[in-house]
Structure 1
Amino acid sequence: MQDAIKAEILLENGVAVRRDYEPVSYREALDYQTARNNAIYEGLAPDLIWLLEHPPVYTAGTSAKADDMLDPRFDVVEAGRGGKYTYHGPGQRIGYVLIDLKQRARDVRGFVHALEGWVIDTLADFGVESWRSEAGVGIWTRDIDGSEAKIGAIGVRIRRWVTMHGFSVNLNPDLSHFTGIVPCGIAEKGVTSLARLGISVSAQQWDEALLARADQFLAKLEQACPPVATSEGNQA
């Protein structure tokens, strides 16, 4: 834990940022999140925004259904977050957000809404209009054929008011890897990426744009978004 903390940069707002540009195994990242969640709860480590990517992996949320696993060609890991199956892999930027909500509005719904808004606003900085959709939790945009498609996924877990997991955004992943699952349990909707939309964005460019809006995201967590959810909750 201490070696990992040394690799972080502490922002003026007291939140630490870690950026990895070599793939980190999903199981390793999950173990670290669990340990960091406990450390934040005990006051031994600051809140953390961790930006990274994984080798190809399918992750199962607490609502995952066996029928949605079509081709387990990659490792399948039970994530402990809300939601169903999703894919992570190279070219997809992950943001794990570990925040002590006891020090903020104690609002699970507000946290998820702010997380979605953070990604939507950052995509807009690259000229991509995106939105929340009744089709399912996540970030949606218009694909090259005009249909609604998912460009980002949201999945969180709250343990003792400290958040885990976060979001993923498709910069330029191999979209064929999503065909091994029914992404997020939504068979009738597609998946897209910035590259598919003709927009080239590196991991570093994405991180810089996202972190430029970090204060805006954190400010939203200071205000409740009623109704307030329970502390031991999951959102997909």
Structure 2
Amino acid sequence: MNAEAATGLPAPEWLISEERVPVPDALAAMEARAAAIRAGTAGEAVWLVEHPPSYTAGTSARPEGLLESRFPTFEAGRGGQWTYHGPGQRTAYVMLDLTRPHGTIPARDVRAYVHGLEEWVIRALDRFNIRGERREGRVGIWVQDRANGTESKIGAIGVRVSRWVSWHGIALNVDPDLSHFGGIVPCGIAEHGVTSLHALGIPATMEEADSALIAAWAEVFGDRT
């Protein structure tokens, strides 16, 4: 049974922007869509975008986390600290009405919702035979380099929930310029690096990453059709 049949409500609309979306434009569009969802004048949505090179500050960001202002910086209003966005990174903005359940995610449970976002990224990575993992006390999705005994972040998570409507979401590193992360302390964690599908030897296209995310969504949040 699909999500619409199970709940009587439409599944989220999937939107994919072909052009790079400036961060301020994305913030304005998300806020407007979230307000419309709350008002009942628009449906839920998952919006897949790429941004021009940018640094965004979450509500916990500290000035010392910005090491070098290489790119424009923006106050994002989401949870978390400093994050890089840029070409080769798929950012997925998730706008859901959390007053109702979604697949395995119960209603009005922000912790479960964040856990669901993590599980979504983990299951998408599994389609590339990459094992994504959570780490206690560290936000995001991590992969291990067992040969070197190190680990790096491949996916970032930052959310905002306004009157039980979610916005912001996740960022998956497909093939960004990893040197661009050097201008910040990513998510406030200095002792571990960042990686990408391409850096791990998986030459996935953005379209293949999107397909993995769309397929994995159904397993966590319910069928999309």
Q: Quick check: TM above 0.5?
A: yes
Query: Aligned to 2:118, what secondary structure does the other structure show?
Result: helix
Unaligned segments of structure 1, at least 5 residues: 1-10, 221-236
Choose the corresponding residue for 2:55, options 46, 53, 58: 58
Greater CA deviation, 70-79 or 207-216? 207-216
Choose the corresponding residue for 1:187, options 190, 209, 216: 190
Aligned counterpart, 1:90? 87
1:54 CA displacement:
0.3
1:209 CA displacement:
1.5
Q: Are 2:124 and 1:122 aligned?
A: yes
1:135 CA displacement:
5.1
Partner Cα separation in structure 2 for residue 113 and residue 187 of structure 1 = 23
Alignment of 1:157-236 (within 5 A): 157-219=160-222
Identity %: 51
1:20 CA displacement:
1.4
User: How far does the alpha carbon of each residue in 1:11-36 deviate from its partner, in whole angstroms, 9 at most, with x for none?
Assistant: 88431110113211111000000000
Partner Cα separation in structure 1 for residue 17 and residue 215 of structure 2 = 17
Unaligned segments of structure 2, at least 5 residues: 102-106
Q: Name segments (4+ residues, structure 1) moved above 4 Å.
A: none
Computed over aligned residues only, the root mean square deviation of the Cα atoms, in angstroms, reads 1.5
How many equivalent residue pairs?
210
User: How far does the alpha carbon of each residue in 1:166-186 deviate from its partner, in whole angstroms, 9 at most, with x for none?
Assistant: 000101100000000000000
1:126 CA displacement:
0.3
Amino acid at match of 1:166: G
Choose the corresponding residue for 1:153, options 153, 156, 166: 156
Alignment of 1:60-75 (within 5 A): 60-75=57-72
Aligned counterpart, 1:230? none
Amino acid at match of 2:201: G
Choose the corresponding residue for 1:21, options 7, 15, 18: 18
Q: Give TM-score, length-normalised by structure 2.
A: 0.90
User: How far does the alpha carbon of each residue in 1:138-167 deviate from its partner, in whole angstroms, 9 at most, with x for none?
Assistant: 000014733111000000000000001000
Amino acid at match of 2:192: K
Q: Give TM-score, length-normalised by structure 1.
A: 0.86
